[in-house]
């Protein structure tokens, strides 16, 4: 129970892959649809003095990264509420985008921070289908509808189009960081906007984070030893847990494939 005079810090855990919708079998995926209610409640709770974002994400959708961050900023301004970010294991790519929604960013010395870039990955199976005697047939209206089909030879114009989109998204990412971090970044653009990753300690030297620390220690120091923490992180419902634990065979295959995909993303950072 929280008494009226007891300061409260609202906690929001932003942990997982950032994706447009929850993935089958995944407990922790981040998107605005799932987070909207939790964010609103956190900023509106009685006697809240600050909102602390606990971030552990290797990134994902740039659109969802932007939507979540924009909502945090809107609520912060509307409620005149300071926002603090505490990076745990990793805040890379979209995870760092989310971090910049805060007024101040903290990390652990061994946290992984950065990856300010854009990636698009796929595969090519042109030679494989030739060897097993398969002919690929594609019929389209609009010459770009078959763009980057993995079973057809690459076309330079397709590559150029994807690279153009990536350049635009990278520019948007950089503009957001510059708007949020400003002169706190202490080195050149070439040093920090090249998709490199750094430890929390090095990220502080570069100006990507403000200081080293965990939420419990920093918030106690800032708001007093009597401060209370209220967790507003979205919990997975009993129905969702039960439903996914009894998925059909085809859903289970999809679940396994997406689980592997997530493992690959996390493994880039040794996690």
Asked whether the predicted pLDDT for residue 103 surpasses 60, the reply is yes
**Mean per-residue pLDDT, 111-119:** 86
Same domain, 157 and 216: no
Q: Is the domain of 107 the same as that of 33? A: yes
* Average pLDDT of the segment spanning 30-46: 95
Q: Write down the pTM of the prediction.
A: 0.79
Domain that holds residue 13: 8-115+196-267
Say if residue 129 is in the same domain as residue 12. Answer: no
Instruction: Provide the 8-state DSSP code for 144.
Output: T
190 within domain boundaries = no
| Beta strand spans in the chain (E) | 8-15, 17-18, 29-30, 48-57, 83-92, 104-107, 112-114, 197-199, 211-212, 228-231
Range with lowest mean pLDDT among 138-142, 194-198, 224-228, 257-261? 257-261
49 assigned to some structural domain: yes
Number of domains in the chain: 2
CA-based end-to-end distance of the chain: 36
Q: Do the domain assignments include residue 187?
A: no
pLDDT of residue 160: 77
Same domain, 80 and 156: no
Active site residues: 93, 145
In a domain, 3, yes or no: no
pLDDT tens-digit map of 224-260 = 999 999 999 976 554 444 444 444 444 544 455 455 5
Residue 40 and residue 76 in one domain = yes
Residue 112 has pLDDT above 90, yes or no: yes
Most confident of 67-76, 133-142, 246-255: 67-76
d(CA 259, CA 252) in angstroms, rounded, equals 10
Confidence grade of residue 29 (pLDDT, cut at 50, 70, 90): confident
52 with 166, same domain: the answer is no
153 within a domain of the structure (yes/no)? yes
Please tell me which residue, 22 or 213, carries the higher pLDDT value.
Answer: 213
The domain that holds 254 is classified in CATH as 3.90.226.10
């Amino acid at each position: 129970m929280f008494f009226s005079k007891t300061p409260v810090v609202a906690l929001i855990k932003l942990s997982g892959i950032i994706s447009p919708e929850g993935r089958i079998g995944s407990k922790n995926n981040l998107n605005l649809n799932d987070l909207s209610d939790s964010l609103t409640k956190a900023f509106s709770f009685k006697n809240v003095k600050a909102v602390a974002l606990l971030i552990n994400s290797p990134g994902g959708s740039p659109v969802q990264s932007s939507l979540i961050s924009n909502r945090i900023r809107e609520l912060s301004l509307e409620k005149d509420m300071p926002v603090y970010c505490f990076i745990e294991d990793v805040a890379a790519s979209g995870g760092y985008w989310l971090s910049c929604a805060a007024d101040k960013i903290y990390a652990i010395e061994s946290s992984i921070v950065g990856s300010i870039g854009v990636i698009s990955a796929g595969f090519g199976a042109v030679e494989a289908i030739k060897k097993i005697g398969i002919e690929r047939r594609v019929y389209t209206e609009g010459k770009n509808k078959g763009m980057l089909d993995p079973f057809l030879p690459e076309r330079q114009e397709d590559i150029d189009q994807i690279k153009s989109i990536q350049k635009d998204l990278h520019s948007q990412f950089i503009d957001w960081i510059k708007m949020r971090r400003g002169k706190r970044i202490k080195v050149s653009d070439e040093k920090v906007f090249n998709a490199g990753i750094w430890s929390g300690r090095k990220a502080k030297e570069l100006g990507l984070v403000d200081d080293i620390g965990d939420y419990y220690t920093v918030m106690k120091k800032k708001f007093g030893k009597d401060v209370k923490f209220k967790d507003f992180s979205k919990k997975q419902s009993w129905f969702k847990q039960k439903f996914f634990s009894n998925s059909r065979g085809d859903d289970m295959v999809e679940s396994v494939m997406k689980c592997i995909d997530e493992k690959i993303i996390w493994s880039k950072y040794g996690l």
